[in-house]
Chains A and B, each alone.
Chain A
Amino acid sequence: MTPDDPTPGPPPATDDADTGEPIGELRGLSLTVDERFRGRVRGRIERRLLAGDLAGLLWTSPVLVAIEFLRVSFELFGGRKRP
């Protein structure tokens, strides 16, 4: 209906006898969207990706520290005795 939405709508209802005008207009109903819309979507996606990265970091950091601590402890106290 607008240049914003060039794809055709879904196929018309085949089992309905009374879908003439103006019902058919509903299929292609489209509104003009603010130019900044895509920028806002991108911003939301980037924020969520950043939040995911931070959450991953918060989760992996303590695990990495614990593994390193165990490794050092093992080397100090549990390793092979030197001659």
Chain B
Amino acid sequence: MAPFERESDDELVALAKAAGSRDARPFEALVRRHQGHVVANCRVLTRSSADADDLAQEVFVKAFFGLRRFEGRAQFRTWLQRIKVNHCLNHLRRTRGAIMVDVDDLAEAGHEAIQTPAAAERELEARSDRERIVLVLDSMPDTLRIPLMLRDGDGHSYDEIAATLGIGLSAVKMRIKRAREEFRARFTRAGSPEGLPAPVETP
């Protein structure tokens, strides 16, 4: 059994705070526990396997140095998710300039989805459900994928998502509703013999 397997997150945070840089094991236990989810979310948010690993490492480094300021008012997992989301969105802003287009531009977002590499779509059939989920999310535009992941992947509230993305509450609700419909439709079709169909046009 790996060390610190039985301790809760709160206990590990307390141990990591007390140890500081003298003993990295408690913090490493936290990394071991959350790494899969953080890497998956970075992967989905950025649509890049190469960036995801790197970003996830930076998220944990930030968490390590920010641990002293963590007061335990939220769960460690929630706090880590905030660091991760901010870090990934900043990365997207740096690399792409802007990540969220206006609600009126959703039609354009649909066009973006059409440009998804066909090869990636054909691979879907042979993949496991988990990989299928990632590839289906890859085929969705930022405008739908990011709010969907923040809501259903991380459990953020609508208000938090609106504040994080800098858009209105009603826009967030609309995007999430549309994203769920889109995700469900694509996921179902991705599992059919025809594979992932052409993306649904967003009006």
Q: Interface of A with B (CB < 8 Å)?
A: 1-2, 4-7, 9-11, 13, 15-16, 18-19, 22-34, 37-38, 40-42, 44-45, 48-49
Check: B64 CB closer than 8 A to any chain A CB: yes
With A and B bound together, what is the CA distance between A7 and B12 in angstroms? 13
Smallest CB–CB gap between A43 and chain B, Å? 9
Structural contact, B148 and A26, CB atoms closer than 8 A? yes
Given contacts A31-B36, A37-B35, A42-B28, are A9 and B155 in contact (CB under 8 A)? yes
Contact A23 B152 (CB under 8 A): yes
The residue of chain A having its C-beta at the shortest distance from the C-beta of B49 within the complex is A31
Contact between B61 and A23, CB atoms less than 8 A apart: no
**CB interface residues, B 179-195, toward A, < 8 Å:** 180, 183-184, 187
Please, which residues of chain A bring their CB within 8 A of the CB of B130?
1, 25, 29-31
**0/1 interface trace, chain B 140-166, chain A, CB 8 Å (1 if under):** 000000001101111100100000000
Given A11-B155, A19-B152, A26-B149, also A32-B180 (CB < 8 A): no
Q: Is B51 an interface position by the 8 A CB rule?
A: no
Q: Give B42 Cβ to nearest chain A Cβ, in Å.
A: 9
Contact B28 A34 (CB under 8 A): no
A-B pairs, top 5 by smallest CB distance, nearest first, are: A10-B155, A30-B36, A4-B36, A5-B36, A31-B40
The size bracket of the interface on B is 35 or more
Residues of B within 8 A of A1 (CB): 36, 130
Contact B35 A29 (CB under 8 A): no
By beta carbon, the residue of chain B nearest A8 is B77
Asked whether, in the complex, the Cβ of A22 is within 8 Å of the Cβ of B33, the reply is: no
Selecting from B52-60, B89-97, B109-117, B118-126, the interface stretch reads: B52-60
Contacts of B60 in A (CB 8 A): 41
C-alpha gap A40/B28 in the complex (Å): 11
Residue of B at shortest CB range from A33? B35
A6 touches B33 (CB 8 A): yes
B17 adjacent to chain A (CB < 8 Å): no
Separation in Å of the B162 CB from the closest CB of chain A? 14
Interface status of B88 (Cβ within 8 A of chain A): no
Chain A residues with Cβ under 8 A from B187's Cβ?
A: 22
Known A26-B149, A29-B44, A31-B39: A10·B77 in contact at CB below 8 Å: yes
